[in-house]
Amino acid sequence: MLKDAFSNSMETDDFHHLDALRNHYYQNNYDDVREAIVKMCEELNYRIMNIDDNFKEILVEYNHGEIIFTSILYGYTIQLSMKINSNYFIPFKRPIRDIKNIYAYLDKKLNLKKVGGKDE
């Protein structure tokens, strides 16, 4: 969709029409997921604004905007979703690329079980 190329706000979903924006499910506990996100932020010089362990949300600021990571526990599986609010002048799908790169990093550090909306 043309709208996706020019949107500064992107959110993942289990059944998103773009495969890159589907939630990822990890066979890890919340602490492992949180630590992987924190380590990624340190490596990329992203600033962690808030970690809320009660709601399992992490708010991160990076040079092009903000990312909210939300973890939901399903048995022994964690669903990780993201919402990016970027401030690119002309985005040209860069928020989508940012989400794709973050998931690629986390997929290497955690045990990816499935990508949302698809059967196991």
**For residue range 20-62, what is the model confidence (pLDDT) as tens digits?**
999 999 999 999 999 999 999 999 999 999 999 999 999 999 9
pTM: 0.92
User: Where residue 51 sits, what CATH number does that domain have?
Assistant: 3.30.310.80
Residue 39 in any domain: the answer is yes
Report the domain count for the chain: 1
Residue 120 in any domain: the answer is no
Positions of E strands within 1-120 = 9-11, 24-26, 47-52, 57-62, 65-74, 77-86, 112-115
Residue 16 in any domain: the answer is yes
Residue 95 in any domain: the answer is yes
Reading the block at residue 73, the tokens are 């526990």
The answer to whether the CB of 5 falls within 8 A of the CB of 92 is yes
Q: What is the mean pLDDT of the chain?
A: 93
pLDDT digits (tens, 9 = 90+) for 51-100: 999 999 999 999 999 999 999 998 889 999 999 999 988 888 899 999 99
Residue 93 in any domain: the answer is yes
Place of tokens 């932020």: 41
- Can you give the residue range of the structural domain that contains 75? 2-115
Residue 20 in any domain: the answer is yes
